[in-house]
Every structure is written in structure tokens, then in C-alpha cells.
Chain A
Amino acid sequence: MNQLMRFTRVHGDSKVAPFVAILVILTALASLGNLLMPQDSIFYVSTYTITLLGKYLCYAMLALAVDVIWGYCGILSLGHGAFFALGGYGMGMYLMRQIGDRGVYGNPELPDFMVFLNWTELPWFWYGFDQFWFAMLMVLLIPGTLAFIFGWLAFRSRVTGVYLSIMTQALTYALLLAFFRNEMGFGGNNGLTDFKDILGFDLQSDNTRVALFATTAFLLGLTFIISHKILKSRMGKVIVAIRDGESRARFLGYRTERYKVWLFVYSAMIAGIAGALYVPQVGIINPGEFSPLNSIEIVIWVAVGGRGTLIGAIVGALLVNYAKTKFTAIMPDGWLFALGAMFVLVTLFLPQGLVGLFNKFKGNKPDNNAGSHALEPKATEDAKA
């Protein structure tokens, strides 16, 4: 109970507004900097930077999705990349259909890779993806449905802790192998690429890029606010209660598995949206996104930022990815040392992540415990299991 009270204190309304405000201002500045400023101005923001920021924001949204279930409900998913990739494939299929007869083989119906493999007609599961609304619906529904089935099976039979993590890993690994197969009809290892336009707008123009970037920022803000509201609501309190003592919550009469399933589905949908936004900005989606290592990385962003704080997840995703961009260019031969060392040091010395460090720095002890500290008794149970 005490923890619950702490929790509500941390997540007062006052914390949402500044973040959203800063997000809006930065997005506006960056967008205008790209569109209005001349190239040589110091306020000019290059298109490279815009796409890069757009990509970071997609990752941030993905991290947010993981934080919602891990930080608040104690469900550590090592397979969230799967939902992200599925959303990405949904968008990718739409973009693929938009190419029309502008593909290298000039086939109006079939994407290039199908012509290439001598397919004669479009497989049934590609139908409808030429409609934007349908594709977007699928971006939400497919990850959502998969999460529902998986979650329903897993949570109902009380698969928890480490077992659940490993199972999510198996899930994404199985999908990785499946999407690698060329027979699946998703382009095999090469995935989907060579996109031309979205909703009639040229994907390579600066305007479209800025619009995509702004949309991502907007949706990140929106999901942030919604997640915040959910977790602040009565339901959110039950969710945190489940994290801190599932059996106790169950004995109090809550159908814990239902809460978990719905939160899991919600989180998977956010991941799906993030994936859908990611694809037009990076220009390719392929099975590599299903790789279990990617999913582990997401968890690490959250851990670095500080789990159970929503904003921590976003900060973590932005910082780690920024570091990665920098390291791979500055020290191409040794960046893995730096990255690896960063993970080790953060877990050792910053158990609450950067947000925790920040709070400590501010000298405000009681607040920072909302997230990880409360996890520990639960975690010990896992260890014994």
C-alpha cells in the first residue's frame, strides 16, 4: 500500500505536461529548422538528422511499450521486437503495394520479390494491404492478437518471471526463422524495401520526412499520455499491485491474469505502431528485426533510462541509440566494448537507471523507489523458482 502511495506521488499530473511540452517544442524547432532555414544557417537541421531523430523516437515508443509491462507489471518481455517487427511488416506491405507498377519488373500487382521467385498471384494475406486504413488496422490488430493469444495462454497458466521471458524469446526467435523463409511470402531475408510513397507523398522528399518525424513525435506524446493515464487509474494501481505481489492481488479477488493480458496487448499495440512508423523512415523492414538480440537491447534501453518511470524508458532509448550512432562512427572497431561496459556499469551502479541517478542527485529519495526497488522481493521469488 505504501508503495502504491509513493507511486501516485511520483506520477502526478505535473510530470506529464513538461515532457509533452518539450517534445512539442523540439519537434517544431527541428521540423522548421529543416524546412525553413537555409542550408548554411546554424539553425538548419539536416534531413539526415530528421530521419535519425525519427528513428530514435520510434525506438523510444518501443521502449515505452516495454516499460509499461516490465516497469509496472513485472512482465519482462524478451520478445517485444516481434510486435515491433509485425507492425513494421504491416506498414511495409502497404508501402510495397503502393509501388504498383514502378517496381523493376513493372508488374502492377506483384511486388518485385514475388516476380523474382516466379509467383503468379498475390497470396491471400496480402489482400487489403493496398488500403491505408486496412494496413493501419492490421498494424494494431496483428501484434494485438498475437499478444492476446500468447498472453492468454501464458498468464492463465501462470507462467511468470524468467520462464515467461524465455518463452517470449522463443516466440520472437520462431518468428525470425519463419520470416526468413522465402516461401512465407514476406520477401525472406531481404524483407521489404525500395518504397516509393506513402498516401501519395514521395517518401524521399523533405516534407514527407518531416511529417513522418512529427507524426512519430505526436504519437509518442499521445501514447505517453495514455499510458500515464492508464497507469494512474484504478486499473494501474491493480497492475502495480500485481507486480509487487501477484498472489496477494489474486487473493484480494482481482482476476490478475486479465489485467496482465490486456496490458500486454496494449503494450504490443504500441510496439506495433512504433514499428509501422519506423519502416517508412528507415526504408526497410526485414526479419533481422525479430532477432532476440534486438529485443534484449530494448530491455536494456529501459534499464539504462530507469524502469517504471515511463520517461526513463524514453530517455534510455534516445541516449543508448545516440551513443550507438556516435560510437559506431568514432570507434568502429571498439564500440562494442563501450556499449558492453555501459550496460554492466549501469546495472551495477545505477539500478534505477539514469532517472534514478537524477532523482538521487536532486536529493529526493522517497520518490525514486516507485520502479525497481519494489521489484526486488518479486525478483527473489523468481530466482528461487
Chain B
Amino acid sequence: MRHLFAIMSVCLALFSVSVQANEQTTNESSISPNSAALIAQLAEVKLSKTLPVLEQLEAVGGAELLPLFTTLLEGKLYYVKASKQIVAVEKKGSDYLVSDLFSAQLLGAMKKKEIKKIRVNNKLRVFLRQAIARLQIKSPEPEKRLIAIKALYGSLTDSTIDTLKKVYPDETNLEVKEAIELAFALYESKSPLAEKRLAAVNGLAESLENEARNSLTYLVENDSDKKVQMAAGAALKKINERIEFYDFVDQLFFGLSLGSVLLLAAIGLAITFGVMGVINMAHGEMIMLGAYTTYVVQLLMPDAIEYSLLVAVPAAFVVSGLVGILIERGVIRFLHGRPLETLLATFGISLILQQLVRTVFSPLNRQVESPLWMSGSLEINPVLSLTLNRLYILAFALLVFGLLLIILRKTSLGLNVRAVSQNRSMAKAMGIRTDWVDAMTFGLGSGIAGIAGVALSQLTNVGPNLGQSYIIDSFMVVVFGGVGNLWGTLVAAFSLGVANKFLEPVTGAVLASILVLVFIILFIQKKPKGLFPQKGRAAE
């Protein structure tokens, strides 16, 4: 298969020159000679002179320029050094697959040296995005029309409004219709006539879009007409009230999201520390191992990043779990009943594990990619959007929590674990293999820490210090919630997360964490066994 491909690409490269000649003649029909001349200039002008060329292009051309603009925006527009032909280039491994800009027909593979990229900068991207929007107002797909109109809110010119006026009567999609109406209102708000401005205020009053708010603010501050000013003021007040509510929802989401991260990080510890009483300082490193497992999984399946996390979750569970069992069998079982000494030994282990990943994977952070379905955000309205990765992690944390609860409540392993944690000697007398249960419990806790690592790899650095940054928080959550109580851990994680996020805007990030810590310290003085103390004789 691979040979075949190689041969094919060599052939393509050999024939590309002749093919190019043919392609050019067939495609130029749709591009006017004026445009073609301008496009050719792109290969020659300096970066700072590209913008005028593009502006002229937009002036003379039409929708047929769309592929040029989008390719340039994506940074895939190149020219062939020998022929100065402008082409689209897709990088595949070390090869550069060259295709015709307008027909999208593959022209062949080239070496890096044969082609040169046409550079874009931020300024050009801003222009391109708007030019594309202007071209897409008439796109057959309503989503594209909507995006196009929204992109133009900030730069409404007479000609754009004219175009919008032309398309408005035929528009069937309700959302697009509303967007166009808003565009009209935005445009009218700058009208010299007071009545028009007043009418525009009504049009703007219902919208949460930034531009609407900015126009209203402008009117409130600068309008010469008292009536317009008052109307704008009233509308603005209403909008701000709505925004306040959404801000509150936003903050709540931030808090819950932080809480879910804390929950994931702490829940494994709730088992090893809470149920077994082992102060596992290497807990953070179990999380780190999970994150590195994700990295390795992605290395092994580079073509299926979308599914990599689904593989990484069980893989991380197994890796961290096995390491956990190894630690339990190798070290912790000899320290049974001496929790403070397990602290020392596991601290040593954490140092070793950190240095181990440093040696194996280098001290640099590793790149873990986010699958597409986890990127971006769920837009509820212009002022409230929830980031997808955090939404999934929130759901995932709850799922893991639920599963763990089921394992502990409904399985025989769970029964054994609870029995051993309540009364070891009695459990032993009843024929429970306490050794085995210990190993499994520790493995379970570590495995869950590994799963947390998979989730964290989507949010933060995957590096040797990953674990350290979560260890203290994890302990706080478990202690605050009440050792040995999973529900306590859940409540503690979410309440600390939410408290932190509501404090942050008032006090700043650092002071917020300090206040939360001080609160926990004081709280523990009041209720030394945490939010939900374990009851019964076992707790004494």
C-alpha cells in the first residue's frame, strides 16, 4: 500500500508541471483577468503590501474568490517558486500536497524547498474574515449566513446594508432574520435623524450582542436628543440586569467546573486516605501517570485523536492502578497501621516517580491534543457560553463518582473494603483476605487518580510537576468533607470550587485561595472530623 502511494506521488510530481499548464487554462474562465493579475501579485508583494492587493481583489471579484480567501486565512496558500503559480498546500507528514486553488484538484507532492508560503498576519486575518463574511451573506446555508452577518456587526457600511436589505425579504430562517434586523438597528443608531435613532434603540433593546450594548452606551453618553438618551438608558439598564444574571450563571459554572476538577483529583485520595488511612503523598504522581498515559496513547494512535481519550481512560486506570498495587505490595503493607510513616515512604516514592518521568519523557511538558468534540464552547447566548471541555469533565467527574459509589456499595469488593476499613481483625476472622483487599483498594484509588489524570491532561500541563500542584488541594477536599465519606468529598469539592470562584472577582485569585484555606483551617477546629464525620464506633 505504502509503496503504491510512494510511486503515485513520484509520478504526480513528475507530471505536475505539465498538468499545471492544463489546469490553469481550464480554470481561469471563472476568474476575471483583472482578478487573476491581482492574485498573481500576491506571490510578489511584501507582507505589509498584501492588504491593498486583497482590497482591490474584493472590489473587482465576487463569490468565486471564496476559496482564495479561506485558504489564505487558514495559512495554506503558497506559491510554487519555479512557476509563481498560487496554490493551496496541505502538509502531510514531510510531504506537501499541492492542489489547485479553485478546482481543488491535486497537483502532486512537492518538497518544502520548491514552494513558499504567502504570509498572513493578524491585520490580514481580520480583513479576510470580514471579506469572507461579506461574500457569504448570500450563502445557501443558514448557519453560514448567520455567522457572516454577526461578523459584520462591527463594520457595517452602506453597501453592506444595501446587500442586507436586498436579501432580507427573501430570508426564511428566523434567526438570520433577527440578526439582519439587529444589523439594521445598529446601522440606524448612527443615523442623523432622532426618530430613526429612537426606533433603533427599540431594536437594540432585546439583544445581548456586544455591539448592541456598545451602541446603546454610546447613545447614553453622547446623544444630543434627550428622548433617545433616556430610551437608550432604560434599554441598557434592562440589558445589564439580564447580563448580571447570566454572569451569575457563568460564575456558578466556573465554580462547579473547578469543583469537578477538585473532585476528580481528590476522589482517589478519598479511597486510599479516607478508607485505608494511608497518607499517600504519591497520589499526585498517580494523576501524573494517568496524564502521561494519555500522551502515550495519543502517540500510539495519531490518526484517531478523536477516540484517544476513550482508550486512555481504561489505559490510565490500569497503569496507575498497577503502579498503585505495586506500591502497596512493595512498601505500604509493611507499614500497616503507621499512617504517618506511610507519608514518608510515599513521599520518597513520589520523588522517584517524578524523576522517572523526567528521565523517560524529558522534563519538558508533553503535548496532549484535545479531540475536536471537546474543543470550543456551547453558546447559549452572546454573553453566556459554556466551554465544552469543562462541561464534559464535569459530567465525567460525576460519572466516576457514581461508578465508585456503586463499586463500594454493590460489589463484593466494596463490601470487603468497607469491612476491612471498619474492623480489620474482625474482617480477617470472617475469612476476608485482608492483604488482597488492601492491594485492591489501593489499586482502585490509584487507578481513579489515573483517570483524573486523563481529564486534567485536557486542562493543564502534562509535565513532571502535574501531580504536585494538586496534592494539597486533594487533601484539603478530603479532610474538609470528612475522611472516609465519599459524599463528603463530593460536597466539599463542589463547595470549595464554587466558593473560590465567587470570591475570585472580589479578592483576586491568590487571596481567594488563601481565604478558602483559612476557612478550612477554622472549620476543622469547629468540626474536627470534617463536614460529614463517620459515625459509630469505628470512628473512635
Contact = CB atoms under 8 A, between A and B. Distances in A.
Contacts of B518: 174
A339 B528 contact: no
B514 A162 contact: no
A333 B464 CA distance: 14
B279 A162 contact: yes
A351 B479 CA distance: 27
A169 B279 CA distance: 13
A166 B335 CA distance: 20
Nearest to A383: B277
A156 B526 CA distance: 10
B348 A165 contact: no
Contacts of B352: 336-337, 340-341, 344
B524 interface: yes
A171 interface: yes
Tell which of A299, A334, A379 has the most Cβ of chain B within 10 Å.
A379
B340 interface: yes
Chain B interface: which size bin? 35 or more
A154 B510 contact: no
16 contacts: A157-B525, A167-B520, A167-B521, A169-B475, A174-B513, A174-B514, A178-B514, A303-B341, A334-B355, A337-B356, A344-B349, A347-B348, A348-B331, A375-B338, A376-B337, A385-B540
Contacts, number: 146
B483 interface: yes
A96 interface: no
A10 B482 CA distance: 40
Give the one of B273, B351, B514 with max A CB within 10 A. B351
A340 B521 contact: no
B521 A171 contact: yes
A379 B340 CA distance: 7
Contacts of A341: 348, 352
A340 B350 contact: yes
Given A181-B510, A303-B341, A339 B351 contact: yes
A333 B356 CA distance: 10
A348 B335 contact: yes
B525 A170 contact: no
B340 A343 contact: no
Contact of A166 (B331, B345, B476): B476
B61 interface: no
A185 to B, nearest CB: 15
B521 A170 contact: yes
Interface in A169-185: 169-171, 173-174, 177-178, 180-181
A153 interface: yes
A154 B525 contact: yes
B339 A300 contact: no
| Count class of interface residues, chain A | 35 or more
A136 interface: no
Nearest to A292: B472
B199 interface: no
B452 interface: no
B334 interface: yes
Contacts of A21: none
B517 A299 contact: no
A150 B521 CA distance: 9
Nearest to A382: B339
Nearest to A178: B514
B538 interface: yes
Contacts of B514: 174, 177-178
B94 interface: no
B344 interface: yes
Interface of B: 273, 277, 279, 281, 331, 334-335, 337-345, 347-352, 354-356, 359, 468, 472, 475-476, 479, 483, 510-511, 513-514, 517-518, 520-522, 524-526, 528-529, 538-540
A379 B338 contact: yes
Given A336-B355, A344-B331, A170 B339 contact: no
Given A337-B352, A340-B352, A384-B539, A157 B337 contact: no
B279 A340 contact: no
B345 A344 contact: yes
A384 B510 contact: no
Interface in A277-328: 292-293, 296, 299-300, 303
A382 B335 CA distance: 14
Given A159-B528, A336-B354, A348 B476 contact: no
A344 B522 contact: no
Given A162-B483, A165-B343, A382-B277, 15 more contacts: A150-B521, A159-B528, A171-B521, A177-B517, A292-B472, A336-B354, A336-B355, A340-B352, A341-B348, A343-B345, A348-B345, A351-B338, A351-B341, A380-B337, A384-B538
A365 to B, nearest CB: 20
Contact of B344 (A153, A163, A303): A303
Contacts of B343: 165, 296, 299
Contact of A347 (B344, B351, B476, B524): B344
A181 B514 CA distance: 11
The residue among B335, B352, B520 with the most chain A CB atoms within 10 A of its own CB is: B352
Given A173-B472, A384-B539, A343 B344 contact: yes
A381 to B, nearest CB: 8
Nearest to A377: B337
Nearest to A351: B341
Given A170-B521, A340-B350, A347-B345, A383 B355 contact: no
Given A157-B526, A165-B340, A171-B521, A340 B351 contact: yes
Nearest to B508: A181
A166 B479 contact: yes
A340 B526 CA distance: 37
Contacts of A226: none
Nearest to B423: A384
Contacts of A180: 510
A342 B479 CA distance: 29
A237 B277 CA distance: 29
Contacts of A292: 472
A348 B348 CA distance: 11
A382 B331 CA distance: 19
A76 interface: yes
- Which of A160, A348, A383 has the most B CB atoms < 10 Å from its CB? A383
Interface string A34-50: 00000000000000000
Given A336-B355, A341-B348, A153 B525 contact: yes
A383 B525 contact: no
Contacts of A342: 348
A340 B281 CA distance: 12
Interface in A157-213: 157-163, 165-167, 169-171, 173-174, 177-178, 180-181
A339 B483 contact: no
Contacts of B529: 163, 385
A174 B521 contact: yes
Contacts of B525: 153-154, 156-157, 159
A292 B517 CA distance: 13
B513 A296 contact: no
A380 to B, nearest CB: 4
Contacts of B340: 76, 162, 165, 375, 379, 382
B102 to A, nearest CB: 56
B337 A162 contact: no
